[in-house]
Amino acid sequence: MSMRHDPELDDVLQDKELLRLGELLSSAVRPEPPLDDAFQSELRRQLMHQAWEMGEGRPSWWKRAFAPPGMAWIGATAGLLLIASVVVYTTTHQSASSDVSYLSPIDGGSGIALQQPILVKFNQPMDHRTTEAAVQIAPATNVTYSWQINTLAVQPTSGNFAPNTQYQVTIGPGATTATGQHLPSAGTITFVTQPPAPPTPSPSPTPRAPASPTSLLTGERQLAPEGGGVSSPLQWSADSSTVYFVTVKGALEVVPAKGGDVTIIAPDGASSPVIAPAGDRLAYIRAGKIEILTFAAGTTAEVVVTPAATMVGWAKDKVVWATSDGLYAQGVNKPMQLAPLPTTGDVSVLSIASDGMHAVYRQDQKLFLLEIATAKSTQLGQASASFYGWSPSGTQLLYGGADHLVVSDTQGNNVSTLTSGEASWSSQDAILIGSDSDLFQVRPDGTSGTKLANGTYHLPVWAPNGTAFAFFRGGALWTASAPLLPPQPTVMELATTTFTKFMQARLKGQGGEAAIYLDANGKQAYSSGGLSLVISGEPHFTRFYVLTQQITSTQPDTARFVVRIVLTQGKLDVADFEETLTIIRDATTRQLLIDQATLGTRRDLGKGAAVVGVVVAAGSIQVAFDSDLDPGTVPDSVVLVDAKGKQVEATTTYANRTVTITGLELRPGAQYKLVVLPALRDVLGHNVASEYNLQLLGPAVKNQTGIVVKPPVSPSPSPSPSQNQSN
Amino acid sequence: MSDLLRDEEGDLVERAKQDPRQFGALYDRHFQQIYRFVYSRVREQTAAEDVTSEIFMKALKAMPRYQDTGRPFAAWLYQIAVNAIADRYRTLRPAQSIDDFHDLSVAGPALEDLAAHRDEIRRIWGLVEALPAQQKTALVLKFQEDMKIEDIAVAMGKTSGAVKLLIHRGVSRLRDEADALRPVE
C-alpha cells in the first residue's frame, strides 16, 4: 500500500506509529460527491445577483420586476423564472460620457438551460426597431424578439438553443435609445449552453438512512426456537413466504417467514431438502431414498436409488442426485450416471448448479468444482474451503476460506475477492456476508459494500425475492429484510466516470491525476502522436464536451468517446479539436481505463455550422448542429459513408438544428464516417469552412440501453481557465 | 500553489474586494473544493448545497473586509465553512456512515492486503469522527483536505502551534484506541 509522506507532519507527530496513522489517514481518497450541476450554476447566479446589488447599492431590477405589475409579465414568460435570480452586469464599451448601458443575467454563464430567452435589460427606453436590427447572434440562429419595458427578450425560433455551444450575442452601435442616442460601441454577451438531456435518467444511488443507528435491517425476528441449528442448508419457498429446514435431529420442518407455528414434514432421518426451480415441489432424502413432495397435491413420491442417495438437487426442473460413486439423473428406464465421483477419500457432493452443468464436492478437506460433461475436477481454494452458492446465472460460484471469500468462474478462475464470512448470493446479485460480529452486503465485484448491522448473523440465506433472508443466532432460526443495493452502474456509466475524471483532471492541469485513468497503451498514446495530457498555451483549454459516445464491444467491455476540447481567448471560444478515446475494461483489475487515444484536427470556430452532438443507433443517426441550417442544403451535405467510402443509402430529414439520417442498418462494430460537406449552409448563407469527418462504429448490440447515449456527461464546470486548488 | 497562481489569485481577490461582481471568478475557482469538503462533513446532498450556499454568500458579503494575510484565499473560505458546518452540527448529525466517504477501493496491491488496509482506514476515520470537535476539524483539514498547518490555523482561527497540538493529540488518541483499530476477525 503506498502511503504519502507529509514532511510537515514529521515535526508534529514524531512518533513512528503516529506518523503511520497520519499517513494512513492521508491515504483515504474521497470519492466525488454527488453534485447537481444546476445547483452550481444556480448558486453562481444568486451570488452574481447579490453582487450586483452590492455593487449598485440599490434593489435589483429583478426584485422590482417581480413586484406588480411586472409579475404579470413574468408569469406570462415562463422562461424568465429559470434565471430569475441572476444578474451579471454587462456594459457596452461605452465612453464615460454615454449613459446607455445594458446587462444580461446570463452573460459569462455556463451550463445555461437550452430553453430560455436571452434577456437584455437596457437602462433606458430603447427604440425597438433599431435595437433588434443591431442584434447579431452567433452561431447563426433564427430568433424572435419581445419587449417588456426596457428589457429585450431574444428567443430562438426553434424554442431552444443548441447544446454545448458558446453563444455570442453582439449588440451593435446601430441600437438607439427612444430619444435617438446610439450605443457608443458594440458589446458582446457570451454564454455556454448545457449538454442535451440524456435519453433516460441515470440511476443515482441515494444515501440510505439507517433504520436504526446501528442497523439497516428491518423486520428482524426469530422464527424457530433454539434447537442447536440445522444439519442441511435451509431452503426458501419460491414465493419467499416460508422456510424449510432440517433440525440436528433429522426432522424436516417448515415455518412461515412472518412467524408462526412450525410444521413437521418428516419427523426424522431427513437431509438435503431442496425446492424445485418452479417452486412446486420439495425433494429431500430420507433413509437413503429420495422423497418428492408436490405442494399442490400434498402427495409425496419416493424414488429408490442404488447406491443410496447422499444429496439431491434440481437441474433444469429434473431431480438429480449424488451417491457414493457419482452424480445421477432419472433416465428412461433407470438412473443414468451424469459423472463419476472420485473413488478415494471421503467424498460428499455439496451442490449441483441449476443448469446441471457443474457441481461442487468435497474430497476429504478439499473443495472441488466438477464439470459434469467432462468429469473434470478443479480444486477451489485451499484446504477447508467452504462452498456458499452459485450466481443467479449459474456462471459463477462463491466459496471461501478463513481469510476471504472468492467469486470464481466455472473454470475455477478467481474473479474477485471479498471479505471473509458466511455468505449467500441473491437473485438480485447481492452477496450477504455474515459473521459473529456483523453483516455486510456487497456486489460480487466487491463494490457497493454496505455494513447492514452489528451482531451475530450465521449462515445467512437469501430468499428468492432478494430482500428477505434467514440466518442463525444462538442456534435459533431468524429472518430479516435487507435494503436493496443501489442499482449497478452500466458499462457506459462506469466508462463515463472514467472519462469525466480523466478530463476534469486535465482541465485542472493535473497530468499525474489524469494518468491514473490510462492503461499502458493509453500512457503510450499520450506520450506520442501529438497528444498531450496537459493542454497549455494560448488560446487556453476552458471546457470540454462529449460529441458522441458508444459502447462498441462487450468482450471486453469497450466504450468509445469523441470529446471536443474547446480553446478560449479572452472570453470567446476561438478553436477546438477532438480526441477519440477508447475505454476498455482491464481483464485483471476490472477497471475501465483509457486504452487508446487519437488526436483530431484543430478547427477554428465561427466558420459556419458545426456539429455539436451525434447520437448513433443501429437504425438511425442524429446529428445536432449549433446553427440553424438552410434546409435545402442538408440532404446532399450531411451523408454517411461506409468503410469503403461508399455512401450509405438513407433518408435525411432536418428540423430544429438536427439532421436525422434514418433507414440505416448499421453493422455492429463496422466502421462508418459521417461527412459534412462545405456545401452545407446556415440560415445566414455561410457555408461550412471545410469538410468535417467523424468516424463512427456500428453499435455493439441492438436495443440495449446505454449503447448509444446522448452526451450525458456534464461539461466542464466553468469556462474559468484555471481550476487549480490551493493548498 | 505556485507563485504565478498565487499572484493570479491575489489579483482576483483584489478585484473582488473592489467590485463584488468580480467574485464569480473566485467562486468558479473554489466551488468544487468547498463543496467536496462540506459534503464530506454533512454527508447529504441537500444539506451540502445549503451549507455551500451559505458559505459563498457569507464570503461574498464579507469580501470588502477580507484581509490578505499571505495565506491562500481558500483558507479563509475554509474558515467560513468550518463555522457554518459547526453551526449545522449543533442541531444535526451526519446522515451517513463514514464508510461512504473515504474511497476504499484503491487499486494496486493484493486484494486481501487491500481489504485489510481499507478496514483499517475505515476504522480510523470512524474514530476520527468521535474525536472532540476541534481535534476532528484539525485532522480533517490536515488529512482529508491536505491543507498546510498555517492554512488550517487560518481556517480554525488558531495559531499554528495550537493546530499542531490538536493534530498531535488527535492522532495520539487514535493510537491509544489501537485495540479498536484491529480488524474484526
pLDDT per residue as tens digits for the range A179-193: 888 888 888 899 999
Q: What is the sign, positive or negative, of the torsion defined by CA atoms of A17, A21, A23, A24?
A: positive
Residues in chain B with CB shorter than 8 Å from the CB of A724 are: 1, 5, 29
Mean pLDDT of A270-279: 91
The packing angle between helices A37-56 and B23-42, to 10°, is 130
Minimum CA–CA partner of B18 in chain A: A55
User: Which positions in chain A touch B175 (Cβ < 8 Å)?
Assistant: 15, 17-18, 21
Q: Are B20 and A50 in contact (CB < 8 Å)?
A: yes
pLDDT at A214: 63
User: What is the average pLDDT across B68-92?
Assistant: 82
Q: Could you say which residues from 185 to 224 on chain A have a Cβ atom under 8 Å away from some Cβ of chain B? A: 207-210
Q: How distant is the Cα of B158 from the closest Cα of chain A, in angstroms?
A: 16
Which amino acid would we find at residue B106?
V
Average pLDDT of A611-640?
93
Tell me the DSSP string of A425-470. E-TTS-EEEE-SSEEEEE-TTS-S-EEEEES--EEEEE-TTSSEEE
Query: What is each CA distance from A308 to A193, A311, B131, in whole angstroms?
Result: 74, 9, 63
The string of pLDDT tens digits covering residues A680-717 is 999 988 998 889 999 999 887 643 333 333 333 444 44
Confirm if A383 and A399 have CB atoms less than 8 A apart. no
Of A199 and A112, more confident: A112
For CA atoms A572, A577, A580, A581, the dihedral sign is: negative
Q: Which of B168, B176, B179 to mutate to test binding with chain A, by most A CBs within 10 Å of its CB? A: B168
Q: How distant is the Cα of B76 from the closest Cα of chain A, in angstroms?
A: 12
At residue A70, the pLDDT reads 39
The chain-wide mean pLDDT, for chain A, equals 83
| Closest Cα in chain B to A435 | B185
Per-residue pLDDT band for A198 (boundaries 50, 70, 90) equals low
> A-B interface: how many C-beta pairs under 8 angstroms?
197
Of A9, A404, A437, the CB nearest to B184: A437
Residue labelled with grid coordinates 458579503: B61
**DSSP per position, A171-195:** E-TT-BBTTSPBPSS-EEEEEEEPP
Contact A451 B99 (CB under 8 A): yes
Q: A184 near A92, Cβ under 8 Å?
A: yes
Q: How far apart are CA A240 and CA A232, in angstroms?
A: 18
Residues in A 273-292 with any Cβ partner in B closer than 8 A: none
Search chain B and give the residue with CA nearest A28.
Answer: B102
- Residue of chain B with shortest Cα separation from A207: B96
Cα gap A682→A190, rounded to integer Å: 20
Greater pLDDT, A456 or A292: A292
* Residues of B whose CB is below 8 A from A8: 148-149
Mapped onto helix, strand or coil, the DSSP state of residue B112 is helix
pLDDT over 70, % of chain A: 86
Chain B residues in contact with A16 (beta carbon < 8 A): none
**Optimal mutation site among A11, A19, A448, A725, interface B, most CBs of chain B within 10 A:** A725
d(CA B181, CA B124): 6
Residues of chain B in contact with residue A32, where contact means CB-CB under 8 angstroms, are 36
Cβ contacts of residue B138 below 8 Å, gap of 6+? Answer: B152, B156, B163, B166, B167, B170
The alpha carbon of residue A98 and the mean position of all alpha carbons in its chain are separated, in whole angstroms, by: 54
CA-wise closest residue to A123 among A75, A154, A89: A89
Q: What is d(CA A388, CA A418) in angstroms, rounded to the nearest whole number?
A: 13
**Cα distance from A42 to chain B (closest Cα, Å)?**
10
Mean pLDDT, rounded, of chain B: 79
Which pLDDT does position A226 carry in this prediction?
A: 54
In the β-sheet with A431-434, what is the strand arrangement from edge to edge? A422-425, A431-434, A438-442, A450-454
**Sheet hosting strand A638-642, strand order edge to edge:** A638-642, A671-676, A692-697
Closest C-alpha to A274, from A117, A395, A390, A119: A390
pLDDT reported for residue A196: 83
Whole-number Å distance between alpha carbons of A647 and A650:
9
Label the pairing between strands A476-481 and A270-275: unpaired
Asked if A320 and A356 count as a contact pair (C-beta separation under 8 A), the reply is yes
**Interface membership of A421 toward B (CB under 8 Å):** no
For residue A679, the model assigns a pLDDT of 93
Nearest CB to A21 within list B40, B119, B175: B175
Greatest Cα pair distance, chain A, in angstroms, is 110
A187-193 and A109-112 strand pairing: parallel
A chain contacts of residue B117, beta-carbon cutoff 8 Å: 1, 27
Instruction: Please give the residue of chain B at the shortest CA–CA distance from A452.
Output: B97
pLDDT at B130: 85
Q: Which amino acid makes up residue A562?
A: V
Residue B4 has pLDDT above 70, yes or no: no
Beta-strand pair A358-363/A347-352: antiparallel
The answer to whether the beta carbons of residues A318 and A354 sit under 8 Å apart is no
Name the band, by pLDDT with cuts 50, 70 and 90, for residue A209.
Answer: very low
Residues in B closer than 8 angstroms to A718, CB to CB, are 28, 31
Q: Is the pLDDT of residue A117 over 90?
A: no
**Global model pTM greater than 0.90:** no
pLDDT value, residue A555? 81
Model confidence pLDDT, tens digit, residues A429-446: 899 999 888 899 999 988
**Integer Cα distance of A725 and B34 in angstroms:** 10
Residue contact A44–B28, C-beta within 8 A: yes
Percent pLDDT > 90 in chain A is: 41
B-chain residues near A209 (CB < 8 A)? 95
Residue A703 grid cell? 436495443
Contact A727 B73 (CB under 8 A): no
Residue B160 has pLDDT above 80, yes or no: yes
Confidence check: pLDDT of A584 > 60: yes
pLDDT (tens digit per residue) in A350-382: 999 988 889 999 999 899 999 998 889 999 988
Residue A224's pLDDT is what?
A: 77
Give me the pLDDT at residue A583, please: 96
pLDDT band at A58 (very low <50, low <70, confident <90, very high): very low
How far is B24 from chain A, CA to nearest CA, in Å? 7
From first CA to last CA, the distance across chain B in angstroms is 44
Let me know: does A389 contact A354? Beta carbons within 8 Å: no
Quote the pLDDT of residue A110. Answer: 84
What mean pLDDT do residues B87-113 have?
A: 50
Question: Would the pLDDT of A457 be above 50?
Answer: yes
A30 min Cα distance to partner chain B (Å): 5
A98 interface with B at CB cutoff 8 Å: no
* Lowest-pLDDT choice from A4-8, A399-403, A708-712: A708-712
Contact A1 B114 (CB under 8 A): yes
Cis peptide before A556 (omega within 30 of 0): yes
Which residues of chain A have a CB within 8 Å of the CB of B6?
726
B100 closest CA partner among B79, B77, B129, B80: B129
Q: What stretch of H or E contains B156?
A: helix B149-156
Residue B185 has pLDDT above 50, yes or no: no
Q: Report the pLDDT value the prediction gives residue A615, as an integer from 0 to 100.
A: 92
- Lateral strand order in the sheet of A263-266: A235-236, A242-246, A252-256, A263-266
Q: Quick check: A378 and A366 in contact, CB under 8 A? A: no
Do A183 and A196 form a contact (C-beta atoms < 8 A)? no
Element holding A585 (H helix, E strand): strand A572-585
